[in-house]
Amino acid sequence: MDYWHFTKEEKGALIRKLTVALPMLRASVQASQEEISNAIGVSRQTYNAIESQKRQMSWSTYMALILFFDYNPASHNTIRQLDAFPNRLDECWLTGKIGQIGSEL
């Protein structure tokens, strides 16, 4: 299984799920827009435009955000319940395939 390949449609669906949940997720970790934008490497203005649904996030921003929220104990369960975190990334770890990442990228 190609754990790291997502179709354009899959990416769009995951990005939409995360985008609508951003205000709730940010509140759950008690972080400002500036704190999150600094953590993921975008400007506060860009993060604000994404959170207010005025701009679609890139796939790399999506990946940074799911890692930010997944690894935070205050938002980990929520991001999983929203199906905003792609389960097949967990499958990669659980099946011991993590060593294959370099060859799949």
Q: What is the pLDDT of residues 90-101, one digit of tens each?
A: 665 555 654 554
Write out the two tokens for 30. 């008690």
pLDDT at 87: 72
50-60: string of b/e by CB count within 10 Å (b at 16+)? Answer: bbeeeeebeee
Q: Phi first, then psi: what are they for 9, rounded to 5°?
A: -65, -40
* DSSP output for 6-50: --HHHHHHHHHHHHHHHHHHHHHTT--HHHHHHHHTS-HHHHHHH
Q: What is the pLDDT of residues 7-40, one digit of tens each?
A: 999 999 999 999 999 999 999 999 999 999 999 9
Beta-carbon contacts of 73 under 8 Å, excluding residues fewer than 6 positions away, are: none
* Residue 3 counted as domain residue: no
* Residue 39 counted as domain residue: yes
The span from the CA of 11 to the CA of 28, in Å, is 24
* Number of domains making up the chain: 1
Beta-carbon contacts of 10 under 8 Å, excluding residues fewer than 6 positions away, are: 86
* Residue 1 counted as domain residue: no
* Residue 59 counted as domain residue: yes
Domain CATH number, residue 20: 1.10.260
Question: Domain range holding 37?
Answer: 8-104
Helix, strand, coil percent content, the chain, rounded in steps of 5:
65, 0, 35
* Residue 2 counted as domain residue: no
Residue 86 has pLDDT above 80, yes or no: yes
